[in-house]
């Protein structure tokens, strides 16, 4: 059997392209913040994770340019070798202070942050308890470790309790969960998770990629949102969303961070964040701490958007996150809904199997602090038109 045979047998992409419904790898020709140019047309960007809208903030752009002029375009090595610049150290110190943790550690991407941290922290005699709808980087991390992994039903603390109760009481236990689940914007039930942590002697690792810079009074994520920051043993965040850069970090006890720093292959053998990204993130963090209007604007947009979706008849759960998921049905219907939305001038992200269970495919819209009332009205009008056409609303 040819090892490439599976590649030649794969036809799904060709079939979807032939139907004119292929939604992935769309080329963005211009970026103006809340609007972008796709296929020569300006459309409302309702599919970006740039939640605070800082990627085009003049101070962020200037910081990235200045850092590039001073340090060059690349660090040309890993953090372990020659890739740690003073910029990295300063950012880590500021992150630890912001997150109210002893230490922080930056990785090159959010994906490798989880893979490196989780696979390093959980060892051969340990058990990872992972939400079934955790991000794929968490799933990949669990496959890299020698620890046993047990999955519990999505955000179901009764199921987690049941699984914990039936596990080896002598094993090290690490509960791992998204803080804000990226597909549907649901916030993890951290209060119950903490109760179980105390009951069974576990540690809690929260992936706050979509909560960092989004929820909590100061944008510190799920722990702050629930008033349980000290109960989250290790928090992970990414920079490619609210923090206008590229990379990720973990924050927690100094000894834990040091252990990961000296053992995680994804840190030791990967080139470090570029000077431009580090400087952009550092400036974004400064803006979040000194200009609260960015978070306030995002909260107002989130509230308006959810109220408007409900007003026109969509079933949108209560929440404080900028992610809105609209279920359409089967994969092909989701592709068609996405394409017609784009035709109406709204860019979103289609979500299909296996990202969601069969029959629950749909589109994921995400909103930014810089979306105007006009942008929001445009999005709601487009969703309303198609919602009626597809029988989702009356």
CATH number at residue 302: 3.90.1150.10
Alpha carbon distances (Å) from 298 to 109, 313, 363, 375: 24, 23, 21, 14
Alpha carbon distances (Å) from 164 to 32, 144, 169, 201: 48, 22, 9, 10
Whether 255 and 135 map to the same domain: the answer is yes
CATH number at residue 240: 3.40.640.10
Write down which residue in 290, 305, 326 finishes a domain: 290
Cis peptide before 354 (omega within 30 of 0): yes
Classify residue 78 by its DSSP letter. Answer: B
- State how far the Cα of 152 lies from the Cα of 166, in Å rounded to an integer: 12
Cα–Cα–Cα angle for 51, 53, 57, rounded to 5 degrees: 150
Q: Of 208, 185, 222, give the one whose Cα is nearest residue 323.
A: 185
Whether 62 maps to a domain, the answer reads: yes
Whether 118 and 219 map to the same domain: the answer is yes
Please list the pLDDT of the chain residue by residue as tens digits (394 residues).
899 999 999 999 999 999 999 999 999 999 999 999 999 999 999 999 999 999 999 999 999 999 999 999 999 999 999 999 999 999 999 999 999 999 999 999 999 999 999 999 999 999 999 999 999 999 999 999 999 999 999 999 999 999 999 999 999 999 999 999 998 899 999 999 999 999 999 999 999 999 999 999 999 999 999 999 999 999 999 999 999 999 999 999 999 999 999 999 999 999 999 999 999 999 999 999 999 999 999 999 999 999 999 999 999 988 899 999 999 999 999 999 999 999 999 999 999 988 788 899 999 999 999 999 999 999 999 999 999 999 999 8
Tell me how far the alpha carbon of residue 161 is from its chain's centroid: 26
Q: Which two tokens stand for residue 291?
A: 């200009």
| Whole-structure pTM value | 0.96
Write down which residue in 240, 269, 290 finishes a domain: 290
Whether 53 maps to a domain, the answer reads: no
Summarize the chain as % helix, strand, coil (round to 5). 45, 20, 40
Number of structural domains the chain divides into: 2
Whether 179 and 324 map to the same domain: the answer is no
Q: Which two tokens stand for residue 301?
A: 């947009």
Whether 377 and 251 map to the same domain: the answer is no
Classify residue 27 by its DSSP letter. Answer: P
Whether 2 maps to a domain, the answer reads: no
Whether 51 maps to a domain, the answer reads: no
Whether 318 maps to a domain, the answer reads: yes
Q: Which domain holds residue 380?
A: 8-45+292-389
Whether 1 maps to a domain, the answer reads: no
Whether 162 maps to a domain, the answer reads: yes
Whether 219 and 306 map to the same domain: the answer is no
Whether 203 and 298 map to the same domain: the answer is no
User: Exposure of 59 by Cβ count < 10 A (0-12 exposed, 13-18 middle, 19+ buried)?
Assistant: middle
Whether 265 and 300 map to the same domain: the answer is no
Whether 114 and 194 map to the same domain: the answer is yes
Write down which residue in 265, 290, 315 finishes a domain: 290
Whether 52 maps to a domain, the answer reads: no
Whether 304 and 204 map to the same domain: the answer is no
Whether 335 and 285 map to the same domain: the answer is no
- State how far the Cα of 131 lies from the Cα of 175, in Å rounded to an integer: 9
Pairing relationship of beta strands 248-252 and 234-238 according to DSSP bridges: antiparallel
Q: Of 202, 4, 10, 223, give the one whose Cα is nearest residue 98.
A: 223
């Amino acid at each position: 059997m040819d090892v490439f045979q599976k590649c030649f047998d794969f036809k799904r992409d060709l079939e979807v392209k032939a139907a004119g419904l292929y939604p992935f790898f769309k080329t963005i020709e211009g970026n103006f913040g809340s609007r972008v140019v796709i296929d020569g047309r300006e459309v409302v960007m309702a599919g970006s994770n740039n939640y605070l809208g800082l990627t085009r903030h003049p101070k962020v752009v200037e910081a990235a340019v200045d850092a590039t002029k001073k340090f060059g375009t690349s660090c040309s090595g890993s953090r372990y070798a020659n890739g740690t610049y003073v910029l990295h150290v300063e950012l880590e110190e500021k992150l630890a202070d912001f997150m109210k943790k002893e230490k922080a550690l930056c990785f090159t991407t959010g994906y490798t942050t989880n893979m490196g941290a989780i696979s390093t922290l959980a060892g051969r005699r340990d058990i990872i308890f992972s939400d079934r709808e955790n991000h794929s980087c968490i799933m990949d991390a669990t496959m890299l470790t020698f620890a046993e992994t047990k999955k519990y039903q999505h955000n179901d603390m009764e199921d987690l309790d049941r699984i914990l109760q039936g596990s080896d009481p002598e094993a090290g236990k690490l509960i791992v969960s998204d803080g804000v689940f990226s597909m549907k914007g649901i916030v993890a039930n951290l209060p119950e998770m903490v109760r179980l942590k105390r009951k069974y002697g576990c540690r809690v690792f929260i992936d706050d990629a979509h909560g960092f810079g989004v929820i909590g009074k100061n944008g510190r994520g799920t722990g702050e949102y629930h008033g349980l920051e000290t109960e989250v043993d290790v928090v992970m965040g990414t920079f490619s969303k609210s923090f206008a850069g590229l990379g990720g970090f973990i924050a927690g006890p100094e000894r834990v961070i040091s252990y990961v720093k000296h053992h995680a292959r994804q840190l030791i053998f990967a080139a470090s964040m570029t000077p431009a990204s580090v400087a952009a993130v550092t400036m974004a963090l400064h803006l979040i701490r000194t200009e609260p209007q960015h978070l306030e604007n995002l909260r107002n947009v989130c509230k308006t958007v959810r109220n408007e979706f409900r007003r026109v008849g969509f079933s949108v759960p209560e929440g404080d996150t900028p992610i809105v998921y609209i279920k359409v049905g089967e994969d092909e219907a989701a592709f068609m809904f996405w394409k017609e939305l784009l035709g109406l001038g709204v860019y979103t992200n289609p979500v299909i199997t296996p990202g969601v269970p069969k029959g629950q495919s749909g589109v994921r819209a995400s909103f930014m602090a810089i979306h105007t009332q006009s942008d929001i009205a445009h999005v709601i009008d487009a969703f309303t038109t198609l919602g009626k056409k597809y029988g989702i609303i009356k």
